[in-house]
């Protein structure tokens, strides 16, 4: 039964969720919020949705770039290189990004009479991004349920698994991860140095997947 909307970025995690739950997804939504890598991610999100026959829309949230502070909104040179951990990646937090996107997705869900909003956060995000943590997901889901006639909720099945676990799911589903985007710098190719590139490489290696991503380094 197609009873869900998914927030899909074009990255590894949300594309895996898209394929994993394709039989339940009635609508996919992406957001253009002016990040360094939106231009690389969004066409991939659209491509995968089209391949699966899932309607896809992109909603602009450019006020976030105009008014919020984050290195993710300030150009490639602002993105830190190194490991995917709290100390190194904290500057990339876009304040309450997931809360804003989930709120919009909730409105779309109720408009289209859908029961669930799907998001693809995972355990590796917890220390860095407050709006990816289990407590946020459960509280946001409760707020959305309380604020909608249809009792819309959040489905976040990857919350307590790792990115490597997600890659294993994708391997089973036959996903070509070269058709996803991770790099926060948003250059022509993945830089290979930033935290998200390193996390991507490590997850694919741990899952035993041949990484055909083009990296600059």
What is the number of H-type helices and E-type strands within the chain?
A: 8, 5
- Tens of pLDDT, residue by residue over 101-126, are 999 999 999 999 999 999 999 998 76
- Tens of pLDDT, residue by residue over 171-197, are 999 999 999 999 999 999 999 999 899
Structure tokens of 173?
Answer: 């589903």
Nearest residue to 12 via CA among 48, 39, 36: 48
pLDDT at 59 over 70: yes
Full-model pTM: 0.95
Q: Starting from the edge strand earliest in sequence, which strands make up the sheet with 4-7, in order?
A: 56-60, 25-32, 4-7, 116-118, 153-155
Could you tell me the domains of the chain? 4-206 (3.40.50.620)
Mention every residue, 6+ apart, whose C-beta is less than 8 A from residue 86. Answer: 127, 128
Q: For the chain, how big is the Rg over CA atoms in Å? A: 16
Could you give the CA distance from residue 2 to residue 204 in angstroms, rounded to a whole number?
30
The rounded percent of the chain whose pLDDT value lies above 90 is 86
Q: What share of the chain is helix, strand, coil (3-state, %, to 5)?
A: 45, 10, 40
Could you give the CA distance from residue 124 to residue 133 in angstroms, rounded to a whole number?
10
Structure tokens of 142?
Answer: 């409760």
**For range 41-69, the mean pLDDT:** 97
Can you tell me whether residue 107 is helix, strand or coil? helix
Question: Residue 190 gets which letter from DSSP?
Answer: B
């Amino acid at each position: 039964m197609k009873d869900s909307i998914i927030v899909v970025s074009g990255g590894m995690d949300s594309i895996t969720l898209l394929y994993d739950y394709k039989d339940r997804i009635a609508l996919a939504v992406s957001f253009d919020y002016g990040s360094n890598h939106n231009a690389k991610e969004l066409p991939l999100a659209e491509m995968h949705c089209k391949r699966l026959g899932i309607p896809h829309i992109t909603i602009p949230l450019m006020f976030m770039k105009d008014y919020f502070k984050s290195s993710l909104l300030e150009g490639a040179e602002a993105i830190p290189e190194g490991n995917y951990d709290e100390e190194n990646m904290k500057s990339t937090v876009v304040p309450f990004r997931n809360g804003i996107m989930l709120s919009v997705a909730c409105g779309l869900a109720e408009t289209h009479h859908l029961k669930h909003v799907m998001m693809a956060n995972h355990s590796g995000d917890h220390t860095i991004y407050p709006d990816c943590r289990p407590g946020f997901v459960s509280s946001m889901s409760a707020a959305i349920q309380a604020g909608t006639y249809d009792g819309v909720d959040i489905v976040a099945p990857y919350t307590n698994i790792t990115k490597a676990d997600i890659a294993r799911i994708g391997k089973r589903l036959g996903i070509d991860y070269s058709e996803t985007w991770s790099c926060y710098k948003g250059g022509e190719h993945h830089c290979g140095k930033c935290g998200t590139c390193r996390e991507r490489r490590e997850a694919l290696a741990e899952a035993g997947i041949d990484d055909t991503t083009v990296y600059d380094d």
